[in-house]
């Protein structure tokens, strides 16, 4: 067999197996994984990428990003150009964004809007979850969207201000529908009534002057998330619909998911995000503490510990980023009032480095568990498991080559993201991608982006939550 590219001499890490092998690629696809491929190909002009001393892993799959999202009175400032360049540099080769209908729009209109954002810009493959923001209208449109390759839907328990909020009846109904459509419902779980009450109680000049951005943490205690997760799990148990809790940030949430699994519920999934594993709410007391405001807010060190354990035990099955980048200038819109901070963090470029450095290097995850949580499980759960998330014959040649020890200091000015700051600024992280391939094409070489806008393709999916 003649290959176009061979990745030689690396350690190939899949979620279930680690082997010393070469990876032979023909066109966009992995054609063979075996020892000695490079030796045999020596004279026939094949491109050989030497991975000696490196891990060769399936490209990361970030199933939770918001690129160019109108939100909190502004628009998130990583779009499909900078966002997917950042993804590539971080070793992420597929992203799933959220198509959110504006008032009065159909689900199809939302998808069309998001397709237009990605078209000609995306450097890695992409697709969308579709948000149900007007239940009476959108309930009748879900079946059509599944037929068109969009089996994952999203509801928010909060964000009345944005016009996105779903009530319990809508969530219950949506779970029934995804059950019947072979799809899955993603939920942003926070208890809106209690959250609004806490915000109102603290929204006064005195406290804002004294506590500033710390009020973001004070008004979002753990029970705001935990109660909401419990409620969503209850509806999933009652309906049998597949439920995926996004950006879970608390120890209590993790315990609720664990208890659900112990009761035998195999239709309940939870992801956490890199920021909840390594950042804590003491940051809100820093002079630029408002930069760290995201939703849900970052919690305590004890929550981090429980989330890492949840990952290692498969209670939590995915690490994503919830990338929703706002620049310093955008964050400055708060002017001392925490309810006006654009909520969200940059993250695509640092997902793999954070989980590798703080998970694998610190002994909290094995290398295979790392690959499972950032690539294999997200692919499988989101309906991409037949072509993404593994280094395997017939799969897309989406590959990241990581040096186990090479550390790079996080410096926003040297990154692909449009963010002019990073929660991890100054951190020295291993796990950046030395070489990234997207469907066989090298898009990062020697840690530098060398891909092309428009290379990324939309990913059709048939079902979700089937594991």
Of the candidate residues 61, 170, 195, 324, the single one contacting ligand URP (CB under 6 A): 324
343 binds ligand URP (CB under 6 A): yes
Q: Coil, strand, or helix at residue 110?
A: helix
**Min dist. Cβ of residue 63 to ligand URP (A):** 12
User: x/- contact string, 285-324, with Zn ion (CB under 5 A)?
Assistant: -------------------------------------x--
* Nearer residue to ligand URP within complex by CB, 123 or 298: 298
| Nearest partner of 198 among 213, 184, 217, 212, judged by Cα | 217
Query: Quick check: 267 and 243 in contact, CB under 8 A?
Result: yes
Tell me which residue of 466, 47, 405, 452 sits closest to 242, measured CA to CA: 466
**Any contact of residue 372 with Zn ion (CB under 5 A)?**
no
- Give CA 344 to chain center in angstroms: 13
Give 444's contacts (C-beta < 8 A, 6+ positions apart).
88, 89, 91, 433, 434, 435, 436, 450, 451
How far out from the chain centre does Cα 60 lie? 9
- Which spans in 240-288 are helix H? 251-262, 274-278
Please work out the total of residues on this chain that contact ligand URP, with binding judged by CB under 6 A: 8
Residue 329: count other Cβ atoms within 10 Å of its Cβ.
Answer: 10
66 near ligand URP, judged by CB under 6 A? yes
The minimum distance between CB 159 and ligand URP, in angstroms, equals 7
The H or E element containing residue 10 is: strand 5-13
How many helical (H) and strand (E) elements, i.e. helices and strands, does the chain have? Answer: 17, 21
Q: What is the largest CA-CA distance in the chain?
A: 75
Minimum Å distance from CB 295 to ligand URP?
Answer: 4
With CB under 6 A as the contact rule, the residue among 85, 89, 129, 188 that binds ligand URP is 188
Check residue 331 for interaction with ligand URP (CB under 6 A): no
Decide: is 78 part of the binding site for Zn ion (CB under 5 A): no
> Is 288 or 314 the residue whose CB approaches ligand URP more closely?
288
CA neighbor of 153 nearest in space, from 85, 230, 246, 24: 246
Closest approach, Cβ 344 to ligand URP, in A, equals 4
Closest CB 342 distance from Zn ion, rounded Å? 13
Segment 371 to 410, residues that bind ligand URP, using CB under 6 A = none
Tokens of 220: 């979002």
Per CB under 6 A, the list member of 60, 344, 359, 465 interacting with ligand URP is 344
- By CB under 6 A, residue 213 contacts ligand URP: no
Does residue 154 interact with Zn ion by CB under 5 A?
A: no
Q: Does 232 bind ligand URP (CB under 6 A)?
A: no
Shortest separation between residue 158's beta carbon and ligand URP, angstroms: 8
Q: Which of 267, 292, 270 lies closest to 281 in space, CA to CA?
A: 292
Provide, rounded to whole angstroms, the least separation between the CB of residue 410 and Zn ion. Answer: 22
Q: Considering the complex, state which of residue 322 and residue 372 has its C-beta at the smaller distance from Zn ion.
A: 322
The two three-digit tokens of residue 384, written as one number: 């991409």
Contact flag: residue 322 with ligand URP (CB under 6 A) = yes
Among 117, 129, 154, 188, binds Zn ion (CB under 5 A): 188
Measured in degrees and rounded to the nearest 5, phi and psi for residue 254 equal: -60, -40
Q: Considering the rule CB under 6 A, would residue 8 count as an interface residue with ligand URP?
A: no
Spatial distance between the Cα atoms of 436 and 440, rounded to a whole number of angstroms: 9
Give the binding site for Zn ion (CB under 5 A).
188, 322
Give the binding site for ligand URP (CB under 6 A).
66, 188, 294-295, 322, 324, 343-344
């Amino acid at each position: 067999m003649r290959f176009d590219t061979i990745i030689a001499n690396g350690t190939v890490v899949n979620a279930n197996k680690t082997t010393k092998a070469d990876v032979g690629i023909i066109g966009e696809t992995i054609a063979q994984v075996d020892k000695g491929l490079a030796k045999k190909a020596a004279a026939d002009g094949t491109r050989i990428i030497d991975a000696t001393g490196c891990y060769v892993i399936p490209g990361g799959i970030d199933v939770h990003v918001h690129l160019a999202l109108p939100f909190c009175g502004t628009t998130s400032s990583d779009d499909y150009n900078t966002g997917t360049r950042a993804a590539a540099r971080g070793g992420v080769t597929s992203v799933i964004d959220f198509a959110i209908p504006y008032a009065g729009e159909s689900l199809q209109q939302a998808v069309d809007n998001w397709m237009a954002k990605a078209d000609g810009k995306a450097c890695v493959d992409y697709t969308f979850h579709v948000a149900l923001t007007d239940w009476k209208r959108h309930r009748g449109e879900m079946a059509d969207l599944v037929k068109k390759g969009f089996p994952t839907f999203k509801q928010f328990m909060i964000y009345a201000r944005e016009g996105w909020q779903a009530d319990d009846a809508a969530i219950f109904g949506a779970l029934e529908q995804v059950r019947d459509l072979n799809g899955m419902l993603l939920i942003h779980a926070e208890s809106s009534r209690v959250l609004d009450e806490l915000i109102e109680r603290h929204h006064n000049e005195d406290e804002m002057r004294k506590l500033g951005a710390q009020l973001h943490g004070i008004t979002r205690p753990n029970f705001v998330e935990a109660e909401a997760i419990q409620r969503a799990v209850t509806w999933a148990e009652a309906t049998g619909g597949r439920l995926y809790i996004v950006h879970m940030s608390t120890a209590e949430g993790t315990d609720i998911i664990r208890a659900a699994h112990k009761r035998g519920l195999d239709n309940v999934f939870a992801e956490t995000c890199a920021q909840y594993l390594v950042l804590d709410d003491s940051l809100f007391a820093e002079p630029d503490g408002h930069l760290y405001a995201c939703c849900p807010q970052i919690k305590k060190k004890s929550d981090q510990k429980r989330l890492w354990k949840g990952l290692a035990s498969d209670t939590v099955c995915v690490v994503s980023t919830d990338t929703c980048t706002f620049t310093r200038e955008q964050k400055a819109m708060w002017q001392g009032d925490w309810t006006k901070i654009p909520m969200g963090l940059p993250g695509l470029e640092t997902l793999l480095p954070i989980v590798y450095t703080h998970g694998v290097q610190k002994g909290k995850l094995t290398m295979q568990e790392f690959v499972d949580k950032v690539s294999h499980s997200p692919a499988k759960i989101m309906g991409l498991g037949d072509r993404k998330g593994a280094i395997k014959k017939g799969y897309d040649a989406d590959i990241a080559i990581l040096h186990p020890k090479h550390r790079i200091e996080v410096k926003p000015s040297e990154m692909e993201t449009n963010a002019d700051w990073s929660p991890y600024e100054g951190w020295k992280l291993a796990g950046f991608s030395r070489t990234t391939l997207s469907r066989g094409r090298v898009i990062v070489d020697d840690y530098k982006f060398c891909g092309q806008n428009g290379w990324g393709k939309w990913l059709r999916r048939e079902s979700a939550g089937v594991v």
